Structure 1
């Protein structure tokens, strides 16, 4: 299962946008992942992300869903970005809402896209969420869809629940790993990326007693050795996760966003693009714990350097599974449809996976990423077809 099951390329007829839907595997005819929009998106990146999603569903203990990903090479800040996204989703509609085979690719948000915008396209085609024909006949799933839609309206700590769950899961993972390492209290954290994942991760870590001493976004890096006011920074940021420098405290220091690895800290959390840590900057990392909030944020060259330096890693498909666990747990009725129940479930699962990861790595004296790939390797790839209709 190293190669994707299906790769579909799309070329927009109205702009120069190009996009891909990559299905790594189906489980019971179902596969799921977000849509990423960014000028630098490539087919190779989308294939890599779809594979990561397959691992992530195993780590989230799903028995119902495989991994897929959508990617659009286009500027998500462009005035017509929503129209480009709409045309991409419509082009992929035969794989999202099929009436000929009992399969479905469920697409949501990722970097540069909004789940609300994706849902609006689904509603144009008279359905709420992409599901298979078998799922449409399942009363538990039908109830789960309604419960999920209601939970999307709820908030926790001032954030919409679906904007909080992934970042909170990263924070729980980082906290568990730091505790296992016997780390000191009031540990200092630097977060690269301040979208919904980076912001919610920063907020939860602050609540857990950590000092957020540096945050970078697309424009700048802001630092403060005594700790940044995360709530105030969240209130000031725009829809793209960019902070408003005019709202910074006078004692905050503003630097180039390329200097985020130069900040003195204990834990580094990359929460933005792929390969943010790479062969050119990995030597700057002086911490001994990196927690991946973004998907694939460390290149192979960067990873080799961190392994040689003895840096501990909590990799992406363990740390940032909050969103897909939320979706799966509610859709398939695994937990009570309550806001705190969702958070508690993610907390429990992330910490359990981190303990398993560190225990196995210590036992085998091996790098955490290699152990994670062994522990959570996908083993199911169902072949779609009309005869493959399976009960859940």
Structure 2
């Protein structure tokens, strides 16, 4: 079929999403998906990824994660009121020669959602500048048009966000840093919870794109030795610590590490070697579902900070928790990028790198501390503690703004989210 299919799912335990779209490209046969998990004031937020093998189940889980990220940052004192959660995905490699054309046809097909209900941005395999170019070619204003009616002064808010996107922090654009700063702050808070000094800790980061690169930068700046980095071509190891700044400023646009810049003491290892390296902090920052029940036994870290979305399967997380490893769930650890966009747009912070860093650090330290203390007090996993906090905040948001009933139509399976 060439038209989009709109439906929602029958419940099989997990709450069904509010809306899902399945699109088939009339030219290549590739499929794309949008899942709106929840609407708040008619709008939902979540990025768009391009990945060969992307599935509806994957996008559904990511959309549920966005609902959680939005809810966790709810503060009635802020101008920013969290949105609902959504996500988009296209089953195509970003390296495919047809990828950009497929992206354009997909965005054209879901134009109505983009204009009225779904605000989106870059995600795995898709850079914001590429998304913005295609949006402009389609005659649309931006990928976040749906939020404009919620702003007191949309023109001023958009200028503020544009100014923030233009900021550079030591050679890297601010939007590429805030998410990783949040992951690093969450991981450092976990070290403090465990009583591990930052200066004696080691970290390994899988993925060196926007999220992984920034996480590595801010861990290193806090005194943590980054002893391993992995990209699509393999793992780089140096027990004495890698020169993160040098590698960060010489990586390619998709996070590829320049092997000519490794420096003395660095060696190359197979692609999956990152899992078993000796470290205190392990950061999966590249792909979903990369830690499973079998390979989790190789992990030696004390903290797993989920910079990627859904990197740890449920049975693997249970096994890690049973042997005392703190798993900081994605919807907590990597939530700062989304929050920063809206703090800036709504005016809780200005287009200022220092204000952004301070807001991210304060919020992430509070969220992580609350989660770990509740986990310890209640004898549950950090994820369970965070989900309980999400439930409390969603109830507050519903009480303030009302709740949009979830539609329930026939069609599809519901795999649920972690």
What is the TM-score when the length of structure 2 is the normalising length? 0.87
In structure 2, distance between residues paired with 1:326 and 1:232: 26
Aligned 1:102-181 pairs, distance under 5 A = 104-123=117-136, 124-132=138-146, 135-136=148-149, 138-181=151-194
Match for residue 3 of structure 1 among 16, 20, 36? 16
In structure 2, distance between residues paired with 1:382 and 1:34: 21
CA contact (8 A) 2:317 2:327 kept: no
The Cα shift of 1:383 comes to 5.0
Match for residue 96 of structure 1 among 114, 118, 137? 114
Match for residue 337 of structure 2 among 309, 323, 327? 323
Are 2:100 and 1:87 aligned?
no
Aligned 1:197-276 pairs, distance under 5 A = 197-276=211-290
In structure 1, distance between residues paired with 2:180 and 2:273: 22
In structure 1, distance between residues paired with 2:142 and 2:275: 42
What is aligned with 1:13?
26
What is aligned with 1:361?
375
In structure 2, distance between residues paired with 1:250 and 1:331: 44
In structure 1, distance between residues paired with 2:40 and 2:292: 33
Are 2:306 and 1:292 aligned?
yes
What is aligned with 2:4?
none
Are 2:404 and 1:382 aligned?
yes
The Cα shift of 1:266 comes to 1.1
CA contact (8 A) 1:136 1:142 kept: no
CA contact (8 A) 1:144 1:331 kept: yes
The Cα shift of 1:214 comes to 0.3
CA contact (8 A) 2:240 2:265 kept: no
State the superposition RMSD in angstroms: 1.8
In structure 2, distance between residues paired with 1:376 and 1:325: 15
CA contact (8 A) 2:38 2:84 kept: yes
In structure 2, distance between residues paired with 1:186 and 1:16: 52
- Residues 162-195 of structure 1 show CA distances to partners (whole Å, capped at 9, x for unaligned) of 1111011101111111112100323000011111
- Residues 198-232 of structure 1 show CA distances to partners (whole Å, capped at 9, x for unaligned) of 00110111111100000111110000010000011
Query: Tell me, what secondary structure is at the counterpart of 2:272?
Result: helix
Query: Tell me, what secondary structure is at the counterpart of 2:242?
Result: coil
- Residues 326-381 of structure 1 show CA distances to partners (whole Å, capped at 9, x for unaligned) of 11111111223322111111111000001101111121121111111111134444
In structure 2, distance between residues paired with 1:129 and 1:267: 34
Are 2:294 and 1:277 aligned?
no
The Cα shift of 1:16 comes to 3.3
In structure 1, distance between residues paired with 2:405 and 2:350: 32
In structure 2, distance between residues paired with 1:58 and 1:363: 22
Query: Tell me, what secondary structure is at the counterpart of 2:233?
Result: coil
The Cα shift of 1:64 comes to 3.7
Structure 2: unaligned runs, 5 residues or longer = 1-13, 75-79, 407-418
In structure 2, distance between residues paired with 1:132 and 1:213: 43
Are 2:88 and 1:66 aligned?
no
How many aligned residue pairs are there?
Answer: 379
Query: Tell me, what secondary structure is at the counterpart of 1:136?
Result: helix
In structure 2, distance between residues paired with 1:226 and 1:300: 33
The Cα shift of 1:80 comes to 2.4
In structure 2, distance between residues paired with 1:90 and 1:335: 33
Match for residue 315 of structure 2 among 301, 307, 320? 301
- Residues 120-158 of structure 1 show CA distances to partners (whole Å, capped at 9, x for unaligned) of 23333241343348x437433432111001111111122
Are 2:344 and 1:334 aligned?
no
What is aligned with 1:37?
50
Query: Tell me, what secondary structure is at the counterpart of 2:118?
Result: strand
Query: Tell me, what secondary structure is at the counterpart of 2:227?
Result: strand
Structure 1: unaligned runs, 5 residues or longer = 99-103, 385-392
The Cα shift of 1:86 comes to 1.6
Q: Which moved more, 1:344-353 or 1:179-188?
A: 179-188
Are 2:78 and 1:56 aligned?
no
In structure 1, distance between residues paired with 2:95 and 2:384: 37
Seen in structure 2, the aligned counterparts of structure 1 residues 64 and 252 have a Cα distance that, compared at 3 Å, is closer
The Cα shift of 1:40 comes to 2.0
The Cα shift of 1:320 comes to 0.8
